[in-house]
Amino acid sequence: VYRTEVEDRLSTYDRDGNPKGGVIVERHLIDGDVAIFNRQPSLHRMSMLVHEVRVMSGKTFRFNLADCTPYNADFDGDEMNLHVIQSEEARAEAKILMRVQEHIITPRYGGSVIGGIHDHISGAYLLTHGNRILSKDLVMEILGAVGWDGPLPEIVEKDGVVGYRGTDVLSLIIPGGFKLEYTSRSGDEVKVTADGNVTGTIDKRGIGAEDGRLLDAVVQTHGTDVGAEFINRMTKMTIATCTAIGFTTGIDDEDLPPQAIEEIASINVRASEDVDTELAKFGIDGRKYETRPGRTPIETLEENILQLLDSAKGESGNVAKSYLGDDNSAVIMATSGARGSMDNLAMMAGSIGQPKVRGKRLERGYQDRVLSHFARGVKGSREKGFVASSFKKGLEPTEFFMLSISGRESLVDTAVRTSKSGYMQRRLINAMEDLKVSSDGKGSVRNTADRIIQFEYGEDGIDPARSRKGMPFDVTQVLDEALGGGE
């Protein structure tokens, strides 16, 4: 059918039936599209990263757990923004500059900011700690999660169990080409040979975000694409390990036998008696009390009492740890660096200890006493807030009030610190927004008036994002490669 000139101009197709150039096509997102993902507050450049879209059912944003650290994201109701890039030029630029794998190494200190967290670390610990031997069924399940179709490690036997070493299973996904030695958080010596074989316990210090030595070595040696592939495989393998072997934690992980509870109670009683002894030494005015250099008698007394009470809390924690054992799930999480600390566990199972405000025992409250439940002028451990109970046992009413007093300080501190650091960052941004590294061959830092601020960027000319924890290169690795050890 012949079209008029007006119809031809309004049509999105030419007379041969081909679409005209410049037509805007609106469509849904499809797998493989690139989009900028952002979580506020945007405090550094890794708060906005480019991800590839995977269309899924439901109305929530989902992304890989390994990417949580740069966003400071968790899944308790966080909201995030998705910016869909429209022009082809912008998509290409975003892919080159902003892809997640291009930002595994942070420009702040030159270490990996993307890596294993929580269950990844627990899984790696379960897989490698104590030279664990896994049955063929478990290994098949773990390797199936990774999609491994290569050769299997050597079959070994230990204590009548025939199977594969956990470290050998993990070694399958480690690219070779570098040597590494360090001490893990649990105290094991970890060694990675040039062909990628690992021995020792892999925990947060091996694969953790912000702390992973093994992760750093892979990315620095092989680049970001191989690093991203390693993170993908490692996270799948460690999660599968948790599922296959079985890993869970509950309130019964903080249960202690009666004997341990008695030991902790006796430690607390002894600490309280030691405080009373110290107060008796001080007397009424402390004139004969031996003071520390630069301290008044009352300051010396308070410091000595704090030392006694902190020591008692440490002893209680050690008792709790010895009875909980190394196979306890909560202890595994604390030891491996997955979540929490032994101090947290000691407070849950053992004894909470002395609440502090500004590093001292509680002072303010009622006249000559913290709470109205106690006699005026008494400065014993209980009267000044020492909490002998654990969270598992439950707190006495007075202990609850004392702990709440110290808890308020952290709430105020958090609010004040956030506003102060936010204002400081704003001032720094405004002060330095016109600075740039010039291309004068020296890498000098200049402002828009071409005034030199630094003769060499950072005084050493090193880009932290491309450094080895601030150093231009890893001397040990270079020597290894020069001597043939890195082959």
What digits encode the pLDDT tens for the residues 402-444?
A: 999 989 988 998 899 999 999 999 999 999 999 999 888 778 9
Q: Where does the pLDDT of residue 243 fall: very low under 50, low under 70, confident under 90, or very high at 90 and above?
A: very high
The dihedrals phi and psi of 405, each to the nearest 5 degrees, come to -60, -45
Instruction: Determine what percent of the chain is predicted with pLDDT higher than 70.
Output: 98
291-295's contacts with Cβ under 8 Å and 24+ in sequence apart are: none
Token pair 């004068």: residue: 440
- Exposure string of 387-417, with b = 16+ CB inside 10 Å and e = fewer, is bbbbbbbebeebbebbbebbeeeeeeeeeee
Residue 224 CB partners (closer than 8 Å, separation 6+): 101, 102, 104, 105
Report pLDDT for 65. 92
Spell out the domain ranges in the chain. 1-103, 119-245, 255-409, 436-482
User: What is the rounded average pLDDT for all residues in the chain?
Assistant: 89
Which residues are bridge partners to 26 per DSSP? none
1-103 CATH choice from 3.30.565.10, 2.40.40.20, 3.90.1150.10, 2.60.120.10: 2.40.40.20
Ranges of H-type helices in 99-160: 119-128, 136-146
Please give the share of the chain, as a percent, with pLDDT higher than 90: 52
CATH number of 119-245: 1.10.274.100
Domain 255-409: give its CATH superfamily.
Answer: RNA polymerase Rpb1 funnel domain (1.10.132.30)
pLDDT digits (tens, 9 = 90+) for 34-73: 999 999 999 999 999 999 999 999 999 999 999 999 999 9
Alpha-carbon separation of residue 387 from 67, 350, 384, 398, 406 (angstroms): 39, 11, 9, 9, 12
> CA-CA distance, 225 to 243, in Å (whole number)?
27
The DSSP output letter for 105 is: B
Residue 158: per-residue pLDDT? 83
What is the average pLDDT across 136-145?
Answer: 92
- Cα–Cα distance for residue pair 47/41, rounded to 1 Å: 8
Q: Which residue has the tokens 């600490």?
A: 271
Residue 22 pLDDT class (50, 70, 90 cuts): confident
Task: Return the amino acid letter for 133.
Answer: I
| One-letter amino acid for residue 376 of the chain | R
pLDDT at 18: 85
Return the number of other C-beta atoms located less than 10 Å from residue 478's C-beta. 11
* Nearest by Cα to 241 from 314, 340, 366, 332: 332
Tell me what the mean pLDDT of segment 315-329 comes to.
89
Contact 56, 62 (CB under 8 A): yes
Do residues 74 and 200 make contact, with C-beta atoms less than 8 angstroms apart?
no
| pLDDT for the residue 125 | 94
Confidence of residue 330 (pLDDT cuts 50, 70, 90): very high
∠ Cα 410 413 415 (to 5°): 110
Which of 8-17, 104-113, 289-298 shows the lowest per-residue confidence on average (mean pLDDT)?
8-17
How many CB atoms neighbour CB 112 within 10 A?
Answer: 28
Q: Are strands 180-183 and 161-165 parallel, antiparallel or unpaired?
A: unpaired
**Local confidence band at 481 (pLDDT 50, 70, 90 cut-offs):** low
CB 435 within 8 Å of CB 453: yes
> Which residues does 233 contact at the CB level (< 8 Å), separation at least 6?
146, 173
**Sheet containing 161-165: which strands, arranged edge to edge?**
133-134, 161-165, 155-158
**Burial label, 4 (beta-carbon count in 10 A; 0-12, 13-18, 19+):** exposed
